[in-house]
Amino acid sequence: MSTLSEVHLLSILAQEMNMRKAAERLFVSQPALSQRLQSIEKEWGTKLFIRSQKGLSLTPAGEMVIQFANEMMAKEEKVREAITSLDSEVYGTLKIAVASIVGQNWLPQVLKKFVKKHPQAKISLVTGWSSEISKALYEDQAHIGIVRGTPDWKGVKMHLFEDRLNLVDTEITKPEQVLETDRPFIQFKSDSNYYQEIQEWWMRNFQTAPKRTIIVDQIETCKQMTFNGIGYAILPEITLNGAEENIFKIPLLNPNGVQLKRDTWLIGYESAFQLNQVQAFIEIVKEHIKELP
């Protein structure tokens, strides 16, 4: 396999596992694609794909070759990024892995500024829990990560902002009223350290579990259910824009009377911070932070 075009062809075939769909993505006819695949298999001296009415399936040899092809494509992307970083203009792809809550509520404003200032740059964005962000960096799926809490990270670390935690409801105005209501405590799935912090606050103040609990997958679902009076929730300030009507926000205080807060950090490896697109993004982030109240 001597050309990058063949590497790309095999990668597309492995993604689609269907000759017709792969041909459409590669803008070639099915006969032409089949002929090119036969040529590649002849070069390797073995079948890479098994064809059937249901589509394609990889042979053991095919799995090895596809892994090789994907590694070559990853190396090619790194080389292209390094070349474009030599230019004063910002090109290339900025790959960001971000905690979902930040991706929904804070990052869009930053990316809007970035795209406006650097229209030639591309953006690849993945979201997930903070624990998944570090994994994306380890596996080279992202240049930089944006995580919640206090990250155990040995590379570059940049503090972005902190937001306070509140008990939010349409009826409750004092923390102790949660013991009186029959309405449920609505919780969203989150990283273990955030969950533990909430549990510690709850037991410190009430010494008993909530009467009823509803657990949802997404924080936005939790917020909307709370705003519609279904129950009460503990939400970080980043999800509240200050314009909520008929919503009570009760600060969560630690034993010293200080409101609990949640930190957000930008993390990454030193090598990624040498790329033009990453440096340009950091500049936008710093400008955005300065503009915040």
Q: Residue 258's pLDDT is what?
A: 93
| CATH 3.30.230.70 correct for 93-162+263-291 | no
Rounded to whole angstroms, the Cα distance separating 123 from 87 reads 18
Query: Which residues, in sequence order, are CB contacts of 16 under 8 Å at separation 6+?
Result: 22, 25, 56
4-84: CATH, from 2.60.40.10, 1.20.1290.10, 3.30.910.20, 1.10.10.10: 1.10.10.10
Rounded to whole angstroms, the Cα distance separating 182 from 123 reads 46
pTM here is 0.69
Q: Residue 85's pLDDT is what?
A: 64
Rounded to whole angstroms, the Cα distance separating 289 from 276 reads 20
Q: Residue 140's pLDDT is what?
A: 86
Q: What is the CA radius of gyration of the chain?
A: 25
By the 10 Å C-beta count (0-12 exposed, 13-18 middle, 19+ buried), 159 is classed as: exposed
Q: Residue 88's pLDDT is what?
A: 58
163-261: CATH, from 3.40.720.10, 3.40.50.1820, 3.40.50.2300, 3.40.190.290: 3.40.190.290
Q: Residue 86's pLDDT is what?
A: 63
Given a contact cutoff of 8 angstroms between Cβ atoms, the answer to whether 244 and 238 are in contact is no
Rounded to whole angstroms, the Cα distance separating 37 from 43 reads 10
Given a contact cutoff of 8 angstroms between Cβ atoms, the answer to whether 168 and 225 are in contact is no
pLDDT, one tens digit for every residue, the chain (293 residues)? 457 788 889 999 999 999 999 999 999 999 999 999 999 999 999 999 998 888 899 999 999 999 999 888 888 888 877 776 666 577 788 999 999 889 989 999 999 999 999 988 889 999 988 878 988 998 888 999 999 988 888 889 999 999 999 999 999 999 999 999 999 999 998 876 788 889 999 999 998 889 899 999 888 899 999 999 999 999 999 988 766 778 999 999 999 999 999 999 999 999 899 888 999 999 999 999 988 76
Delimiting residues of CATH 3.40.190.290 domain(s) in the chain = 163-261
Q: Which residues of 198-227 are buried (b: 16+ CB within 10 A; e: fewer)?
A: beebbeebeeeebeeebebeebeebbebbb
Residue 132: which of 166, 103, 172 has the closest Cα? 103
Q: Residue 1's pLDDT is what?
A: 44
Given a contact cutoff of 8 angstroms between Cβ atoms, the answer to whether 110 and 284 are in contact is yes
